[in-house]
Chain A
Amino acid sequence: MSQSQETAGDPVKGGFDPVHAAWFFPLFVLIFVGAFRAFFPSLAEKPELLWFDTALQVRAKAGFAEPLDPTIRFVEFKMNEEMARRFATQGEYATAAGILKTLAELKVRAIALDIIYTYGLEEDQNLLASTIREIEASGETSVVLPISLEKGADPPYILRSLPAVEGDPFQIGVVNAEEGHRWRKYRRADTFEGETFPSLALAALAADRPAPLRPKATSPGHMEWKVIGSNGKPITKSVDDSTVLLNIPHSFNDGSFDRAAGITQRVWSVEELEAFAQQPEGADALRDTIFFVGYDQEVDNKPNAHGKQEAGMFVHGVALNDLLHNRAVHTLPLWQDLTIYAIVTMVVAILFSVIRRKRWIIISALGGIAILLLFGWLATWFVCQLPDSILPALIWSGAVVLEIGRRWTYEQRERTQRDAMLGFYFSPAVLKQVTKDLDMIRPQGTSFAILLSDLRGFTTFCEAQPVERVFELLNRLFGVETDAALRENGSLARFAGDQFLAYWGAPEPCEDAPDRSLRASIEIQKILAEHRANPKDDIDPWLKIGIGLHYGRALVGHVGSRSYRDYNLVGDSVNTTARVESQTKNYGAPILTTGEFMEALKMPVSSFQVDYVTVKGKALPTEFHAVVLEDTPENLSACRAYENAFALYKEGSFEIAAESFRVLRDHPFETVATSARMLTERCDELIAQPPEDWTGVYTLTSK
C-alpha cells in the first residue's frame, strides 16, 4: 500500500473517497452499531445476554460455579401420588399449612411461598392464614406470601394470596419475572399504581431480618435498608425497580451440585423434609435458613439461563443470593457501552492505519475480538458487570470485513492503473507474466537487445507542417513501431521526440532477444517502405527512419518521482545504440547494428560490415553492420565487393581500397553506395594524411 492510500480526498477530483481513508469504515460501523444499540436496545441486548449465558455455563462446567448462600433452601411440591392423595384428603391449603409447620419446627428463619393461594374456599384460606400467624407468633419463623402484579390485564390488578383473610396484612413479595429472557432478568422492587412492592427475594431477605431492619420504600420504586460495612459502620443498601441480571450459579437440576449434599441438601421434597424433621439430628441442620416453597419443575417449569426447565422459585432464590452477596450482574449504562464502542473503534482505526498486510489485520482482529469477548466474561465473573462485548466485537469484525474490501478495491484500482501503465510498456504476453509476478519488474541489470529508431527529416517536417500533422506523423510511426515490437514480445522504453526505444531481455528473460529485435526492425522498415511506396496521403512519404540495434548490458527499473514514474532502460548500451542509430543516415542503412549484436544474433540474416569506428564519447571501437533488407543477388554481390574493399581499407591499403569503394559509389543498393562514398572520401583523406599507427579503426568526430 502506498502512502497515497492514507489520503482521504482525491487530489484530482477534490472529493471524499472512503477507499483512501483507513478510519472511515470503523467509524461507519461504530455509527451503525451505536445507533442500533441506542434505538433497538431489546434487540441489541439479545446477543449480549446469550454471551452472558455462555459465561455462566462455562463457569459452571469448569467447576467454578459459586454455591448459593447456605441459608437458601428450597422445598418442591412434587405432584406425585402422595401429594395427590393429600390434596384429595386434606386439601391443598391444609397440605401447604402442614409444610409450613414442618419448616417452623425445623427453626427455619423465613419461608417464602412461590405459590399464590388465591382461589380457595374462605375456610381453607383462613386455615392457612391462621397457621402462618401461629408460626410468626413464635418469633422464630417468618412467612412471605407471593403476589403477582398483573399490569398487562385490563384493568390491571394485583393477584394476592389469601384475599379472603381479614386482619393484619401478611408479608408479601412480587413473583413476577420477565419471561422470554430465560429468567436472567429480575426486578428486585416493583411499583404498581404508585405503591412499591419488594420482590419475593427481597421480601425473603426482609423476613430474615428483625422488623426494624427490614427494607423500606423510600420513594416510588426505591427501597433501602442498612447493613454493616467493613468498618463496622452501618451502610445503606438499596434496590430500585430497574432490572438486573441474575448470576445463576448453575442448574438446580444438575445433581452434581446440591442435591447430593446429604442432610444439608439444597432442594427438598416434602416427604424428605417431613422425614428429616422426625429425626433428632434435624434440630439444627436447617435452623435460621430461608426456604422457598414452590411447585417442582414439572408444574412450574421455567427456562433458566442454562437451558433447563426448572421451578420458578429457584429464580427468587438466586435473586436473594445475589442480594445477600452483591452478586447481581448489572448492565452498563448506555454512555459507558458507547464509550467502549468508541475506544474499540479508535483502536481498530489505528491498527488499520499501522498494519499493512491483510493477514495481520485479520490476526489482530481475531486477537482483539477474543480479548473483547473474554473481557465480557471476566467482568461478569469477577465484578458482576456486563459490558457489551458482542457488539464491540461486531464493530471490529464488521470493520475488518469492510477494511479488507476497502483494501481489495484499492488494490484493484492500483492494479488496473498499473496494468494500464505496464500494458503500455510490455506486450500482452509479458504483461501477463509481470502481473503474475511483480518482482519481475524490480530493478535489474542484464543483457538486452536494444532497438532505437529516429525519424529522418523530422526537423524539416516540423518546420513546414502544422502541429496536428506532426503528431499525426509521429503517432502513425509509433503505431507501426509499437505493434511490431510488441508482436515480438518487446518492451517499450520511451518515445522521446521522434525517437522510439524498445528492448528485449527484461522483465521476462529472453534468449533470442537479438533475433526478436531484428525481426521487429525488419518488419518496421518493410511496413514503412510500403507506406512510402504507396502513400495514402502526404505524410506517408515522410515515414523514413533509421534503426540502430545493439546487444549489451543495461539496467531496467522504475525511475522517476512519486508523482511520475517510468519503467525505463538506462546504461551505456542505450548510449551506444543511440550512436549507432545516428550513423544510419551516414551509411544509408535502414538498420545498422553493432558487432556485439551480430555476435549474439542466432537467426540468419543478410548483412555486411560497413565500418569499424570509435564513436564519439566511447573508448572502445565498434563494428557497424548493415542489414540487407532486399537480398537480391545484385545487392549481395555489391555487399561482397564492399566487404573486400573494406578488408583492404582495414589493412591500410587505402589507395586500392579507395578505388574499390569508388567503383561502388553509384551502385543502386543505397547502403552500399552511401557507405562506399563515405569510405572513398575517408580513404582519400587517409592517403593525404596517412595515420601513424593504423589499426583499422577510424575515430568519428561527430555523433
Chain B
Amino acid sequence: MRFQRILCLLGGVFALFSVHSGNAEEANATLYIVDQSPEHAEMGGACIPYTPLEKPGENRELLAFAKGPAGSTIVMLALQGDAVYGGLEPVITKMTEDSKAARFPNPESEKKWAFTEKTPKVDLYVLAFTEGDPQLEKIGEYLEWLKDSLKEGDDETAMLHTHAIKNRLSNIMRQQSTDSYLETYGDSLLANTDTIVGEGKAAVTRGATKNLLQNEDTKPSAAVAAVRRGLKSIDAEWKEDSRAIKFGLNSPGLLVFPITTTP
C-alpha cells in the first residue's frame, strides 16, 4: 500500500514536470495572398506566401491557416491598432484528430480580407493554447464577448474588448523572455526579410520590422518569386509554407504577421 502511494506520488511529480516542462507542443501557421485573377481560375486562385514585398491588387485577398495538435486551441485575430480590422470576427478553433486547419477569415463568414493598396497596416495574431491553459480561458472569454459585440454592431464595446485582448496579447509577448522567444520562432525571424522570402518563409514578427522613424519604404518587387499553390489543393500543401509555433501550459504560442502594403 505504501509502495503504491510512493508510485502515485512519483507519478504525480512526473506528470507535473511533464506539464511544466516548457513548450512541449507545436502548431503551424501560415499566411497566403490568394490571387483570384482569371489566369488562376483553374487552381481556384493562386496562393502566394505573404511577404511585405508582395504587391497588393484588386483581385488579391489574405487567407491564414493554422493548425495545432488535438486538444489545442488556435486563435486568430486581425487588429488595426486597437480595433478589429474590417469587422473580421476572431477565429477560435478547438483542434481534434480530424480537424482541418483553421482558416482566417472564417470561411463560413462572407467577409473577405482584401489585399489592396488601400489595405491599412494590420497585425494578424495567431495564438496556440494547450488544453487547460488558464490564459485561454481569459482571452477566450473576451473573444466571445468581442464576437457578440461585433454581431451587435456595438463598435465602442467591441473596441473595449479589443483593447483588453490586446493588453493580454502584449502581456504574453512581454512575459516570454528573449531566449524562449527566439526558440519559439527561430533565428530566421530576426534575420533579413529578403532572406526569409528567399527561403520561402512567409511569416515575420515585430522583431523584424524596420525602424518606423527611419521611414524607409520597401519597394515591391515582382521579381521576388514565391511558391504558388492552388487554393483547391492548399489544404494538403499549406503546411510546407508554414512556421512552427511552440507552446505549452502557461506559455501560449504567439505569432504576429504585420501586414503592410507597399503600393
Which residues of A approach B to under 8 Å, CB–CB? 70-71, 101, 104-105, 107, 109, 134-135, 138-140, 209-210, 212-213, 226-228, 232-234, 263-264, 280-281, 283-289
Give the chain A neighbours of B211 by CB distance below 8 A: 105
B163, B177, B206: the one within 8 Å of A210 (CB): B163
Which residues of B approach A to under 8 Å, CB–CB? 81-83, 121, 141-142, 144-145, 148, 156-157, 159-161, 163-164, 166-167, 170-171, 173-174, 176-178, 181-182, 190, 205-207, 211-213
> A70-B174, A289-B174 known; A213 and B157 CB under 8 Å?
no
Whether the Cβ atoms of A228 and B161 lie closer than 8 Å is yes
- Chain B: CB-nearest residue to A107: B206
* B257 CB, nearest partner CB in chain A, Å: 15
Give the chain A neighbours of B82 by CB distance below 8 A: 209-210, 213
Give the chain B neighbours of A286 by CB distance below 8 A: 174
* Distance in angstroms between the alpha carbons of A232 and B144 in the assembled complex: 9
Max chain A C-beta neighbours (<10 A), residue from B83, B160, B170, B206: B160
* Distance in angstroms between the alpha carbons of A75 and B82 in the assembled complex: 26
A71, A105, A281, A289: the one within 8 Å of B178 (CB): A281
Whether the Cβ atoms of B163 and A104 lie closer than 8 Å is no
- Chain A: CB-nearest residue to B141: A232
* Distance in angstroms between the alpha carbons of A285 and B171 in the assembled complex: 9
Give the chain B neighbours of A71 by CB distance below 8 A: 167, 170
Give the chain B neighbours of A213 by CB distance below 8 A: 82, 156, 159-160, 163
* B184 CB, nearest partner CB in chain A, Å: 11
> A138-B212, A263-B178 known; A284 and B207 CB under 8 Å?
yes
* Distance in angstroms between the alpha carbons of A570 and B209 in the assembled complex: 112
Whether the Cβ atoms of B212 and A288 lie closer than 8 Å is no
Give the chain A neighbours of B164 by CB distance below 8 A: 228
> A264-B174, A280-B207, A289-B174 known; A210 and B213 CB under 8 Å?
no
Whether the Cβ atoms of B206 and A212 lie closer than 8 Å is no
23 A-B interface contacts by CB (under 8 A): A70-B171, A104-B213, A105-B212, A135-B213, A139-B121, A210-B83, A213-B82, A228-B142, A228-B157, A228-B160, A228-B161, A232-B141, A232-B142, A232-B144, A232-B145, A232-B161, A233-B157, A234-B156, A280-B190, A281-B182, A287-B173, A287-B174, A288-B173
- Chain B: CB-nearest residue to A211: B82
* Distance in angstroms between the alpha carbons of A356 and B213 in the assembled complex: 81
Whether the Cβ atoms of B213 and A284 lie closer than 8 Å is no
* B251 CB, nearest partner CB in chain A, Å: 15
A104-B213, A281-B178 provided; 6 other pairs, C-beta below 8 A? A139-B81, A228-B157, A228-B160, A232-B141, A285-B174, A286-B174
- Chain B: CB-nearest residue to A209: B163
B141, B166, B190: the one within 8 Å of A288 (CB): B166
* A327 CB, nearest partner CB in chain B, Å: 17
Give the chain A neighbours of B213 by CB distance below 8 A: 101, 104-105, 134-135, 138
Whether the Cβ atoms of B181 and A288 lie closer than 8 Å is no
* Distance in angstroms between the alpha carbons of A105 and B210 in the assembled complex: 9
- Chain A: CB-nearest residue to B155: A212
Give the chain B neighbours of A288 by CB distance below 8 A: 166-167, 170, 173-174
Whether the Cβ atoms of A234 and B160 lie closer than 8 Å is yes
Whether the Cβ atoms of A284 and B212 lie closer than 8 Å is no
Give the chain A neighbours of B145 by CB distance below 8 A: 228, 232
Give the chain B neighbours of A264 by CB distance below 8 A: 174
* Distance in angstroms between the alpha carbons of A104 and B207 in the assembled complex: 14
* Distance in angstroms between the alpha carbons of A5 and B178 in the assembled complex: 78
* Distance in angstroms between the alpha carbons of A283 and B170 in the assembled complex: 12
B121, B159, B173: the one within 8 Å of A212 (CB): B159
* A258 CB, nearest partner CB in chain B, Å: 14
* A136 CB, nearest partner CB in chain B, Å: 11
* B252 CB, nearest partner CB in chain A, Å: 14
Max chain B C-beta neighbours (<10 A), residue from A70, A135, A226, A285: A285
* Distance in angstroms between the alpha carbons of A317 and B28 in the assembled complex: 40
* A397 CB, nearest partner CB in chain B, Å: 48
- Chain A: CB-nearest residue to B214: A105
9 A-B pairs with least C-beta separation:
A281-B178, A288-B170, A210-B82, A232-B145, A283-B207, A284-B173, A138-B212, A228-B160, A280-B190
* A288 CB, nearest partner CB in chain B, Å: 4
Whether the Cβ atoms of B170 and A210 lie closer than 8 Å is no
- Chain A: CB-nearest residue to B166: A288
Give the chain A neighbours of B178 by CB distance below 8 A: 263, 280-281, 285
* A99 CB, nearest partner CB in chain B, Å: 13
* A441 CB, nearest partner CB in chain B, Å: 73
Whether the Cβ atoms of B141 and A210 lie closer than 8 Å is no
* Distance in angstroms between the alpha carbons of A286 and B171 in the assembled complex: 10
* Distance in angstroms between the alpha carbons of A233 and B149 in the assembled complex: 10
- Chain A: CB-nearest residue to B171: A70
Give the chain A neighbours of B207 by CB distance below 8 A: 280, 283-284
* Distance in angstroms between the alpha carbons of A107 and B169 in the assembled complex: 14
* A289 CB, nearest partner CB in chain B, Å: 7
Whether the Cβ atoms of B156 and A212 lie closer than 8 Å is yes
Give the chain B neighbours of A280 by CB distance below 8 A: 178, 190, 207
Give the chain A neighbours of B166 by CB distance below 8 A: 288
Give the chain A neighbours of B81 by CB distance below 8 A: 139, 210
Give the chain B neighbours of A284 by CB distance below 8 A: 173-174, 176, 181, 206-207
Give the chain A neighbours of B148 by CB distance below 8 A: 232
- Chain A: CB-nearest residue to B254: A284
* Distance in angstroms between the alpha carbons of A104 and B176 in the assembled complex: 20
Give the chain A neighbours of B83 by CB distance below 8 A: 210
* Distance in angstroms between the alpha carbons of A210 and B83 in the assembled complex: 8
* A259 CB, nearest partner CB in chain B, Å: 18
Whether the Cβ atoms of A210 and B159 lie closer than 8 Å is yes
* Distance in angstroms between the alpha carbons of A520 and B73 in the assembled complex: 112
* Distance in angstroms between the alpha carbons of A232 and B149 in the assembled complex: 10
Whether the Cβ atoms of A281 and B181 lie closer than 8 Å is yes
* Distance in angstroms between the alpha carbons of A233 and B161 in the assembled complex: 9
* Distance in angstroms between the alpha carbons of A209 and B157 in the assembled complex: 13
- Chain A: CB-nearest residue to B148: A232
* Distance in angstroms between the alpha carbons of A283 and B121 in the assembled complex: 19
Give the chain B neighbours of A289 by CB distance below 8 A: 174
* Distance in angstroms between the alpha carbons of A139 and B80 in the assembled complex: 10
* A70 CB, nearest partner CB in chain B, Å: 7
- Chain A: CB-nearest residue to B162: A210
Max chain A C-beta neighbours (<10 A), residue from B177, B178, B212: B212
* A257 CB, nearest partner CB in chain B, Å: 18
- Chain B: CB-nearest residue to A134: B213
* Distance in angstroms between the alpha carbons of A280 and B182 in the assembled complex: 10
* Distance in angstroms between the alpha carbons of A213 and B163 in the assembled complex: 9
Give the chain A neighbours of B160 by CB distance below 8 A: 213, 226-228, 234
* B186 CB, nearest partner CB in chain A, Å: 13
Give the chain B neighbours of A263 by CB distance below 8 A: 177-178
* B72 CB, nearest partner CB in chain A, Å: 23
Give the chain A neighbours of B121 by CB distance below 8 A: 139
Give the chain B neighbours of A140 by CB distance below 8 A: 212
Give the chain B neighbours of A285 by CB distance below 8 A: 174, 178
- Chain B: CB-nearest residue to A285: B174
Give the chain A neighbours of B163 by CB distance below 8 A: 209-210, 213
* A277 CB, nearest partner CB in chain B, Å: 10
* Distance in angstroms between the alpha carbons of A226 and B161 in the assembled complex: 11
- Chain A: CB-nearest residue to B82: A210
Give the chain B neighbours of A210 by CB distance below 8 A: 81-83, 159, 163
* A142 CB, nearest partner CB in chain B, Å: 11
* A459 CB, nearest partner CB in chain B, Å: 105
* Distance in angstroms between the alpha carbons of A232 and B162 in the assembled complex: 12
- Chain B: CB-nearest residue to A232: B145
Give the chain B neighbours of A107 by CB distance below 8 A: 206
- Chain A: CB-nearest residue to B182: A281
